[in-house]
Amino acid sequence: MRGSGSREFTAVEEAIDRAAHRFLHARGLFEGRSRWRRGVVELGVFALKQGWAAIFGGLLLVCILAARAWWPDDAALARNDALTIAAVAIQAAMLALRLETLRELWVVVLFHVAGTVMELFKTDVGSWAYEAEGLLRIGGVPLFSGFMYAAVGSYMVRTMRMFDLRFTRYPPLWATILVAAGIYANFFTHHFVWDFRWVLVAAVLVLWGGCVMRFRVLRAHLRMPIVVAFGLVALVIWGAENVATFGGAWLYPDQVEGWRPVSASKITSWFLLMILSVVLVTLVHPPRRPEPEPALPRQPSTAA
């Protein structure tokens, strides 16, 4: 739902926005309702916006579960190749249907490439593994794996404008780039030298600790410390990872003999990897400060 000064919607989102406003106005859900009903409306809009922002990742998870449940093991087209084709089709459809802008696609592509490079390394050192099938792969990494990282980037960049995010005390861009570079490097180097992920977590808390995120749902303007938002999103991604491994998209070593929940320690990994996504998003959508509150009219002087 658009507000003054919000980021531009795509044409399709603009049409959905107008239709939603007509629906709410026709039923008197904007004005004249009790506080709890307005709260229910805001909560419903929040859930819809979150779902819309995560549409890429949600559709990809559906494809992973569907392929595991119904794709024949002896099919001429390997399951992993089918997932790659499905991921490309989802991305192409989002562009063709104007659900995502070309400018936002750059973030998705960058995160896709960064994720694929890390996948090649991680599978080589045995951190996790994919089924050895299909032609659309680089080494032991099926090409659809990069789209799972792209889904995170897509969610982050779409959330930025869906909720018209504004920030107070956002850290300097150069400092965020340094921390993001350190995070990415540590995913590789910790296999050979000391793992300094907790130093990086501390750096994130220091750098973003004073930053407050302001976001608009429908009419309500809410605030949240941004590190809390980071943690909540990392928790959601960890939940999606459990769904993906349950669907057999990839397996960790302790899941080879039978599926079990992904270790909760991975939440920290996703927390850090998400910082990389956040920094990439800010290259397309620079963080903006809240608009200044309108000045109150001056009261006439009562002095004699």
**pLDDT tens for each residue of 150-161:** 898 889 888 888
In angstroms, what CA-CA distances link 284 with 90, 101, 235, 275, 277?
A: 22, 11, 25, 15, 11
Give the residue-averaged pLDDT of 125-136. 90
Whether 19 is covered by a domain: the verdict is yes
Whether 5 is covered by a domain: the verdict is no
Q: How many domains does the chain have?
A: 1
pLDDT bin (cut points 50, 70, 90) of residue 5 is: very low
Report pLDDT digits (tens) over 77-87.
999 999 999 99
Whether 103 is covered by a domain: the verdict is yes
- Tell which wins on pLDDT, 304 or 132: 132
pTM of the entire structure? 0.83
pLDDT at residue 12 greater than cutoff 70:
no
Q: Are 142 and 83 in contact (CB under 8 A)?
A: yes
pLDDT at residue 303 greater than cutoff 60:
no
Whether 294 is covered by a domain: the verdict is no
Whether 71 is covered by a domain: the verdict is yes
Of 164, 153, 211, 166, nearest to 49 by C-alpha is 164
Range of the domain at 163: 11-284
Whether 33 is covered by a domain: the verdict is yes
Q: Are 84 and 115 in contact (CB under 8 A)?
A: no
Whether 51 is covered by a domain: the verdict is yes
pLDDT bin (cut points 50, 70, 90) of residue 266 is: very high
In angstroms, the CA 262 to CA 245 distance is: 8
pLDDT bin (cut points 50, 70, 90) of residue 224 is: very high
pLDDT at residue 304 greater than cutoff 70:
no
pLDDT at residue 206 greater than cutoff 90:
yes
User: How high is the pLDDT of residue 31?
Assistant: 59
User: How high is the pLDDT of residue 1?
Assistant: 44
Whether 156 is covered by a domain: the verdict is yes
